Amino acid sequence: MNEIHPTAIVSDKAQLGQANRIGSYAVIEDGVLIGDNNDIASHVVLKKYTRLGNNNTLAEHVVLAGLPQDLGFKDKPTYVELGDGNTLREGVTINRATKDNGATRLGNNNYLMALVHVGHDCQFGNNIIIAPSSGIGGHVQIADKAFISGGVMVHQFVQIGCCAMIGGNTKITQDTLPYMMTDGVPATVHGLNLVGLKRAGFKLDTIKSLKEAYRLLFCTPLSLEEKLLQINAIENEHARALVNFIRVSKRGFHRDKQAG
């Protein structure tokens, strides 16, 4: 039911579904759980505590569930969990979590390009794209349809909002607002992510509401609380989601390049 190259090392304590293809010199350790119809290329390493859903594509030299890069970590059962339909290109590494029975999680249909590193305890939504050579620190949360360009470095505990777009080689040290473009060192907001919003199917009236939310947030002399109250009064769920994102932010958020 599975195609396994004769040079691959697959533990008899791993659990495999059906119609998986496992390439030469791949290593699948004890306790790994794999669903159905996954493509696992040559030299992939799935370490113990990897949980893989269905229809994922893992290119050469992907390593999942390596020990967290945390000096205080004591080896314990923690996991890396992937949903369905994810693509991990060459050299992607994802570390497992640090807390007992915790997991570093990716949802569905995410695309991580070559040499992306995902640190321990990260939580990813769906349809996220991360370009080559980006590094995601521990405990980072990334919402659906975010786009992270190449060479981006994201500090631990940061939140990246829905449909956010981050420019290449940006240094992210605070939360990154949903629906907006953030770029530069230091990182600043450069307007709405209009291309991403249109690709995500946002209607014109929603984009108009988000433009008004942007104006209120960055182009008015009000206090932050007054701005949030006015944005929250806009009759649009995404404008209100922006308010909620800001209210729960613990690190603060990157600001507009002009507003500071």
Task: Pick the catalytic residue from 43, 117, 120, 254.
Answer: 120
Contact predicate 58/39, CB 8 Å: yes
C-alpha–C-alpha distance, residues 28 and 22, integer Å: 9
Return the DSSP state at 68: P
Cβ atoms 191, 207 nearer than 8 A: no
Tokens of residue 119, six digits = 């640190």
What is the signed CA dihedral for 61, 67, 86, 36, rounded to 10 degrees?
A: 90
Dig out the tokens for 164 from the structure: 């956010």
d(CA 52, CA 86): 10
125 among known catalytic residues: no
**Strand, coil or helix: what is 82?**
strand
For residue 215, what are its two tokens?
């104006």
**What is the C-alpha to C-alpha distance for residues 39 and 41, in angstroms, rounded to an integer?**
6
Which member of 31, 125, 138, 196 is catalytic? 138
Mark whether 53 is an active-site residue.
no
Catalytic residue among 53, 85, 121, 139: 121
Residue 121 annotated to the active site: yes
User: Which amino acid is residue 153, in one-letter code?
Assistant: M
Catalytic positions, please?
Answer: 120-121, 138
